[in-house]
C-alpha cells in the first residue's frame, strides 16, 4: 500500500467525538513555502512540506436537540445517534463533494479526545472503510483538527503560529510549529472550558443546550457593562496563560439568585452580555500577551467558541492594536465537523506521520501534542 500522500490526493475525514457526526472530503493542493499574509502581503514561512488544502464538501448531523432537555451531552444518546447518522452523513458528504468512494486516497478519523463510546463509532467505521477500500487510516487529534479547519479557508499556517483553542471541553493556548506534528501547550484551563461556561450559564438562565449560540444572540441586545463579572486568573501572580471560568460561572449564578430572591426581574440580555464580555476579555487578553511574549506574529482562534461574535470582534480589535495577524475560520467551520478531521489527517500525512496500526482505538484523553496516533 502506498502511504505517501501528495498533491491531488483526496482525504476522507470522520468526526464523532461528541454530539456531531461529521464527514468531510479534502483534496491536497499545491506545495507552499511561504504563507499568505493580510491583503496579499507575505505571511512568513510555512512548515516544511506544507500544502494548500481544498475543501470538496462536508456533511453534519447533530444530536444536540436530543440532549437539550438534559442541559448537556448524554454520552449514551450521543453514541446511538452516531450509529444511526453515520452512513447517511457519509453518503451525503460524498454526494456534495461529487466524489466516489474509490477516489479516496486516505482516511482520517478522530480518535480523541472526546467521549469514549462516541469516538468508538467513528473509529470502527473508519477502520472498516480503510479495510474495504485498501487505503491508509490516520487516527488524529480532534483539537488539532479544530485548528486545521482554518487552513481550509486561509491556507497553511505560518511557522510558528499561536492558537487559542476554545471548545466545549478545552481551552488552551498552543504554540504550533508544524500543525502536522509539532504542537506545544503553553497554558490551559484549570477548571471549566470556555464553552462549558457558556453551556452552564445558559442552563442556569434556562436557555437550553448548547449555550453558546443563544447567549451570543441575546448578548447582542444587552449591555456588556451592566455587571462587572470577575476575570479569572488575571492577577499579577497568576500563571499568565492559564484560564479559570468556574468562578465566573458561580458569580453569574450568585447574581441571578440574588435578583430572584429579591423578586427582581432577571435582565437576561444584560447578564449574557456581561458574562460574554468577561470571557472574551480574558481570552483575547491572554492570547495577545502569549503571542507578544513568544515573538509570534500570527494568531488563530479555533473551536466552537471561536464562532462567538464578541470574541471575534474583540480579538480583531486587540490584534490590530498589537500588530498581530488574526485568523479565524468561518463560524460554520468552528464547531465540530468532518472536514477539519480530513484536513488535520492531510497535514499529519504530509508531515510524515505513519498510518495508524490496525489496533487503533479511541483515546478519550488524547493529549493535544499527539497530532496523529
Ligand atoms: O468545538 P465544539 O463544537 O465541540 C467540542 O469539541 O467541544 O464546541 C462546542 C462548544 C459548546 O460549548 C458551545 O456552547 C460553544 O462551543 N459554542 C459557542 C458558540 N457556538 C458554539 N460559544 C459561544 N458563542 C457561540 N456562537
Ligand atoms: Zn470540538
Q: Tell me which ligand sits closest to the C-alpha of residue 72.
A: 1
Span from the CA of 221 to the centroid of ligand 1 (angstroms) = 20
Report which ligand 1 atom has the smallest distance to the Cα of 303. 1
Report which ligand 1 atom has the smallest distance to the Cα of 198. 14
Q: Where in the chain is the domain with CATH 3.30.420.40?
A: 10-158+333-350, 161-331
Is the shortest distance between the CB of 342 and ligand 1 below 6 Å? no
Is the shortest distance between the CB of 307 and ligand 1 below 6 Å? yes
How does DSSP assign 101-125, residue by residue?
Answer: GGG--EEEEEEESS-HHHHHHHHHH
Is the shortest distance between the CB of 297 and ligand 1 below 6 Å? no
Buried residues in 158-175 as b, exposed as e (16+ CB within 10 A): bbbbbbbbbbbbbbbbbb
∠ CA 100-101-104, rounded to 5°: 100
Is the shortest distance between the CB of 71 and ligand 1 below 6 Å? no
| Residue nearest to ligand 1 atom 10, measured at CA | 168
Is the shortest distance between the CB of 270 and ligand 1 below 6 Å? no
Span from the CA of 360 to the centroid of ligand 1 (angstroms) = 28
C-beta neighbour count of 91 within 10 angstroms: 13
Span from the CA of 305 to the centroid of ligand 1 (angstroms) = 4
Is the shortest distance between the CB of 212 and ligand 1 below 6 Å? yes
Instruction: Tell me how far apart the alpha carbons of residues 322 and 287 are, in angstroms, rounded to a whole number.
Output: 11
CA nearest neighbour of 329 among 167, 112, 122, 218:
167
The fold for domain 10-158+333-350 equals: Nucleotidyltransferase; domain 5 (3.30.420)
* Residue owning grid cell 470502527: 124
Span from the CA of 269 to the centroid of ligand 1 (angstroms) = 19
For the record, the C-alpha cell of 140 comes out as 488524529
As beta bridge partners, residue 57 has 25
CA nearest neighbour of 324 among 31, 43, 106:
43
The answer for 118, left when phi > 0, alpha when psi is -120 to 50, beta otherwise, is alpha
Task: Find out whether 72 and 113 touch, Cβ atoms under 8 Å.
Answer: no
* pTM tops 0.85, yes or no: yes
Task: Find out whether 329 and 111 touch, Cβ atoms under 8 Å.
Answer: no
First to last CA, the chain: 19
Q: Tell me which ligand sits closest to the C-alpha of residue 335.
A: 1
The answer, yes or no, to whether the previous bond of 113 is cis (omega within 30 of 0) is yes
Is the shortest distance between the CB of 329 and ligand 1 below 6 Å? no
Is the shortest distance between the CB of 308 and ligand 1 below 6 Å? yes
Span from the CA of 143 to the centroid of ligand 1 (angstroms) = 13
Report which ligand 1 atom has the smallest distance to the Cα of 17. 6
pLDDT of residue 288: 98
Span from the CA of 18 to the centroid of ligand 2 (angstroms) = 7
- When the candidates are 3.30.420.40, 3.40.50.1000, 3.30.1390.10, 3.40.50.300, the CATH number that belongs to 161-331 is 3.30.420.40
Query: Over its length of 373 residues, how does the chain's per-residue pLDDT go in tens digits?
Result: 555 799 999 999 999 999 999 999 999 999 999 998 766 788 899 999 999 999 999 999 999 999 988 888 999 999 999 999 999 999 999 999 999 999 999 999 999 999 999 999 999 999 999 999 999 999 999 999 999 999 999 999 999 999 999 999 999 999 999 999 999 999 999 999 999 999 999 999 999 999 999 999 999 999 999 999 999 999 999 999 999 999 999 999 999 999 999 999 999 999 999 999 999 999 999 999 999 999 999 999 999 999 999 999 999 999 999 999 999 999 999 999 999 999 999 999 999 999 999 999 999 999 999 999 9
Amino acid at each position: 500500500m502506498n502511504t505517501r500522500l501528495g498533491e491531488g490526493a483526496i482525504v476522507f475525514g470522520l468526526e464523532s467525538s461528541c454530539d456531531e457526526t461529521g464527514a468531510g472530503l479534502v483534496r491536497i493542493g499545491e506545495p507552499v513555502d511561504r504563507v499568505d499574509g493580510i491583503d496579499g502581503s507575505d505571511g512568513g514561512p510555512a512548515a516544511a512540506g506544507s500544502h494548500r488544502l481544498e475543501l470538496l464538501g462536508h456533511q453534519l448531523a447533530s444530536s444536540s436537540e436530543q440532549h437539550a432537555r438534559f442541559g448537556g451531552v448524554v454520552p449514551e444518546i450521543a453514541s446511538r445517534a452516531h450509529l444511526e447518522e453515520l452512513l447517511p452523513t457519509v453518503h451525503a458528504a460524498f454526494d456534495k463533494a461529487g466524489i466516489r468512494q474509490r477516489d479516496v486516497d486516505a482516511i482520517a478519523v478522530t480518535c480523541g479526545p472526546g467521549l469514549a463510546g462516541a469516538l468508538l463509532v467513528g473509529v470502527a467505521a473508519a477502520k472498516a472503510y480503510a479495510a474495504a477500500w485498501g487505503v491508509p487510516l490516520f487516527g488524529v487529534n480532534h483539537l488539532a483538527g479544530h485548528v486545521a479547519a482554518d487552513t481550509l479557508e486561509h491556507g497553511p499556517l505560518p511557522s510558528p503560529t499561536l492558537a487559542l483553542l476554545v471548545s466545549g471541553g478545552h481551552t488552551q493556548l498552543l504554540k504550533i510549529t508544524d500543525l502536522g506534528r509539532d504542537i506545544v501547550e503553553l497554558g490551559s484551563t484549570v477548571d471549566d472550558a470556555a464553552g462549558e461556561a457558556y453551556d452552564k450559564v445558559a442552563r442556569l438562565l434556562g436557555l437550553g443546550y448548547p449555550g453558546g449560540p443563544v447567549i451570543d444572540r441575546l448578548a447582542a441586545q444587552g449591555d456588556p457593562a451592566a455587571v462587572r463579572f470577575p476575570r479569572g486568573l488575571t492577577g499579577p501572580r497568576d500563571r499568565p496563560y492559564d484560564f479559570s471560568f468556574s468562578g465566573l460561572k458561580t458569580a453569574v449564578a450568585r447574581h441571578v439568585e440574588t435578583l430572584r430572591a429579591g423578586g427582581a426581574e432577571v435582565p437576561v440580555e444584560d447578564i449574557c452580555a456581561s458574562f460574554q464580555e468577561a470571557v472574551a476579555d480574558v481570552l483575547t487578553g491572554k492570547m495577545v500577551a502569549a503571542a507578544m511574549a513568544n515573538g509570534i506574529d500570527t494568531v488563530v482562534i479555533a473551536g466552537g467558541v471561536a464562532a462567538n461574535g464578541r470574541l471575534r470582534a474583540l480579538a480583531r480589535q486587540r490584534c490590530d492594536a498589537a500588530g498581530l495577524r488574526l485568523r479565524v475560520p468561518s463560524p460554520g467551520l468552528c464547531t465540530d465537523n468532518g472536514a477539519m478531521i480530513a484536513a488535520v489527517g492531510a497535514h499529519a500525512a504530509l508531515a510524515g506521520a505513519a498510518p495508524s496500526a490496525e489496533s487503533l482505538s479511541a483515546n478519550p484523553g488524547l493529549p493535544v501534542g499527539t497530532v496523529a496516533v
